Structure 1
Amino acid sequence: MTDMDSLIGATIRVDGNLLFRGGMRIDGKVFGNVVAEAGHASYLVIGENARIEGEVRCDHLVVNGEIKGSVISTALLEIQPKARIIGDVCYKVLEMHGGAQVLGQLTHRDSSGVEPLLVVSGA
């Protein structure tokens, strides 16, 4: 899934929770939880200058900005070089690039009992 249905632009500030379906990109600031609607595939991109203060929950998450709060990715979590996550992270598959920062606990979650897949990219 790569289609972006919604965009929070760089000059936008949201005070409150966001519930979304499909693809969303955030380049602005969100002070509230960002959660994908259950039962629908979701893809969320957090841009380099974006900032979220709240929980983030979706299937496929790409982070290159800052999140202060817990992160739950039920499919693939990509933490890019300029990303900074301050909070606990739950993931199924994790790809973390050199330079990325996570200040919290990383926990693998997979109902199938399969061992975690961790992909580390060079700097």
Structure 2
Amino acid sequence: MFGKKAQPPIKSLIAQGTRIEGNMKFHEGLRIDGEVFGDIRASDQSSLLVISEAAVVQGEVQADHVIINGTVRGPVHARELLELQPKARIEGDVSYVALEMHQGAIISGQMRPLVMGAEDEKPLLKLASKSA
């Protein structure tokens, strides 16, 4: 369901060594390798946000597809899919429709599945297998 949809291209990059202070809005895809102190929100549908291993975000994060392998201090809202890679560290509440969490990822907060459609429909939870 979620894996078959084409991801939007990453058109913006916050490079390692860069520090942004203030709230941000972005279109389509954004990759963060640096530091952001403020809220990050996708301003359109079909958005992709990648927070790399070296990245630190202090603020609220909101996008359709969120991939985290760095540190986020604040709530995370994935309107479709949240991927937590092995070095992901989240200090805040997390909401998602589908979740993929690798071994080693840490969440210090509440996890709230978002239900799309019928009230009795359960959110998709995918367990990531450990690569050899």
The equivalent residue for 1:104 is: 109
Please report the TM-score for the alignment, with normalisation by the length of structure 2.
Answer: 0.89
Q: Distance in 2 between matches of 1:99 and 1:72?
A: 20
Counterparts of 1:5 and 1:92 in 2: how far apart (Å)?
Answer: 25
Question: In structure 2, what residue type is equivalent to 1:73?
Answer: A
Give 1:3's aligned residue: 9
What displacement does 1:40 show? 2.5
Length, aligned pairs only: 122
Map of 1:40-55 to 2, 5 A cutoff?
40-55=45-60
What are the Cα deviations for residues 73-113 of structure 1, in whole angstroms up to 9, with x where unaligned? 00010000000000000000000000000000000002313
Cα distance, 1:119 vs structure 2: 1.1
Query: After TM superposition, what 4+ stretches of structure 1 lie above 4 angstroms from structure 2?
Result: none
Q: Secondary structure at the match of 2:17?
A: coil
AA partner of residue 50 (structure 2): V
Distance, in Å, in 1 between the alignment partners of 2:62 and 2:116 is 17
| Cα distance in 2 for residues equivalent to 1:44 and 1:83 | 14
Q: After superposition, where does 1:106-121 map in structure 2 within 5 Å?
A: 106-112=111-117, 113=119, 114-121=121-128
1:27 matched to 2:33: yes
The 2-side partners of 1:89 and 1:69 are apart by 9
**Structure number, greater radius of gyration:** 2
Residue segments in structure 2 that go unaligned for 5+ positions in a row: 1-6
**RMSD over equivalenced CA pairs, Å:** 1.0
